Amino acid sequence: MQKFSYGKIFLLGFGFFGISVIWSIYNSYVPVFLKEHALPSWLVGFIMTIDNIFAVVLLPYIGVLSDLTRTRLGRRKPYILAGAPPAALTFALIPLLRGELIPMMIVILLMNLSMALFRSPVIAFMPDVTPSEYRSQANGIINFMGGVGSLLAFFAGSWLYRLNPTYPFIASAVLLAASSFLVIVLVDEPEEFKVKGGKSNIGGELGRLFRRSFADLGGTLSAAYSDPDKSLLFMLASIFLWFVGYNAIETFFTSYAKWYMGIGEATGAFLLGFVALGFLIFSLPAGFIGAKLGRRKTMTLGLLLILVLLFLAMQLPEILPVEVAVLYIQGVFLLLGFSWALVNVNSLPTVVDMTSREKLGTYTGLYYFASQTAAITGPPIAGLFIDLLGYGALFPFSLIFLALSAVTLQFVKRGEARRGF
C-alpha cells in the first residue's frame, strides 16, 4: 500500500495546472479569432462548447477505459501520454492558423479531442494515490494548483499577447507538456494497477477492452438507478443544478454589469476576478473543513452562503449608489469565491468515495458528465430567461437552481470520508 504524501499531491496538481492554463488562454482569445472570420455570435458560442460536448460524450467512457487499463506505467499515465503531447502541439498551432478558418477549426477540434483523452484519467489519478480520509484536502490542493494556472494565464498571458498573439499559446503548450511530463516522471501509480514485463492490455486486447468498458459503464449507471438510496443520482443532480446556477453568473455577469448596472463589461470582469481570487485563497482550507465537518455539511454550508451572498449582490445596486455598490460587491464576490470552494472542492471526493478503488475513473467521468452537461445547457437556458424577462432575471435564475441543488444534496447518504483507500 502506498504511503500518502501531500508533496506527491502537489506534484500531481501540475496536471490540473497545465489543463487550467490551456483552457484559460483558449477561452480568452479563441472567440476573438473566430469572430475575425465574421461568424455569427451564436456559432462562435457553439464552437466554444465543443470541449463541453466532448466532455459529456467521452469523459465517462474514457474514465471507465482507464479503470480497465493495465500497463507497465499503470492505468492513468498512458492516457496522459496519448493526449497531452498532441493537445500541446495543436494548441500552439491555433494562432498560427488564425487567418484560415478551416485549418484553424481542424486544429481546434483535434486539440479538444486530445484534451478529452486525458482529463478524466489525470483527475482520477488523485484518488488513486490518496486514502479516502484525505481526498477533500487533496482535491483542495489540486484546485489550488488549477487556480494558480488560471491566474498565471490571465496575467502573464495578457502581457505575452500584447507582445505577440502567438506567445501565450506557445508558452501554454510548453507548460502543458512540461507539467504532464512532471506528473508522469515524478508521481508513481499504485503497483496493483501495473503489469510486469510491459505486457499491457491495450495492445492486442484493445477491441475487447472497448467492449468491456461500454458494458461496465452501463452496469454502473444501472446500479446507480437501482440503488435504494440513489445517493449517486442525487449527487449528480446536485452537481448539475449548482453548475447551472453558477455558470449563469459566470457567463452573463459582465453583460449584467453593462446593461443592467451601467458600469461597463470591464468592471464586471474585474468584479468576477474577486470570485476567482476567493476560490484560490480558500481552496486549501475548504478541503480541511470538509474533512473535519463532513463533506455534505460543508457543501450545504457553502450553498447556503452562496444563496445569501448572491441575494445581497442582487440588492446592493438597488439600495446604494452604483459606485458604492461596486465596492461592496468586491467583498461579496470574494466571500462568494470562499463559499464556492466549500462546494466545489468537496464534490469530487464525495462522488469517488461512493465506489471502490477499481472504478475511480468511472465515477470521475460521471462527475464531469454532470458538470459539463450543465456547462452546455445552463447558459442557453439562462439566456432564454434573460431574453424573456431582462437582465434583472439573472440573479433569481441562479438562486433558484442553487437552492434546488441544496435540496437534492440532502438526499445524498453516502460519499463521506472513510479509513484507507
Q: What is the DSSP letter of 203?
A: S
pLDDT number for residue 215: 66
Q: Which of 153, 178, 194 is the last residue of a domain?
A: 194
- Could you tell me the maximum CA-CA distance found in the chain, to the nearest angstrom? 71
270-298: per-residue pLDDT in tens? Answer: 888 889 889 999 999 999 999 999 999 99
298 assigned to some structural domain: yes
Same domain, 297 and 153: no
Domain boundary among the residues 138, 172, 194 is at 194
295 located within any domain: yes
Pull the grid cell for residue 87.
Answer: 493537445
Q: Which one of 175, 194, 213 terminates a domain? A: 194
Query: 421: how many CB neighbours lie within 10 A of its CB?
Result: 18
Check whether residue 190 and residue 231 sit in a common domain: no
> Tens digits of per-residue pLDDT, 139-179?
999 999 998 988 888 888 888 988 999 999 999 999 999 99
Q: Is residue 140 part of a domain?
A: yes
Q: What's the CATH code of the domain at 139? A: 1.20.1250.20
Distances 399 to 17, 140, 363, 382, 396 between C-alpha atoms, Å? 30, 25, 28, 12, 5
Cα 392 to Cα 128, 375, 383, distances in angstroms: 45, 21, 12
Query: Could you tell me if 236 and 305 lie in one domain?
Result: yes
**Distances in whole angstroms, Cα of residue 37 to Cα of each of 95, 236, 311:** 13, 38, 40
Please answer whether residues 375 and 150 qualify as being in contact, where contact means their C-beta atoms are separated by less than 8 angstroms: no
Judge whether 274 lies within some domain: yes
The radius of gyration of the chain from alpha carbons, rounded to an integer in Å, stands at 21
Cβ count near 239 (within 10 Å): 28
238 and 114 in a common domain: no
Number of domains, the chain: 2
| Whether 347 and 229 share a structural domain | yes
Whether residue 160 is found in the same domain as residue 73: yes
Counting every residue written for the chain, the total comes to: 421
Is 167 in the same domain as 82? yes
A 10 A CB-CB count for 392 gives 12
Q: What type of residue sits at position 233? A: L
- The 3-state DSSP class for residue 148 equals helix
**pLDDT given at position 201:** 59
29 and 68 together in one domain: yes
Q: Indicate whether 185 and 232 sit together in one domain.
A: no
State the residue range of the domain holding 372: 225-409
Q: Is the domain of 297 the same as that of 403?
A: yes
Per cent of the chain over pLDDT 70 is 94
pLDDT tens-digit profile of 122-142?
A: 988 999 889 988 999 999 999
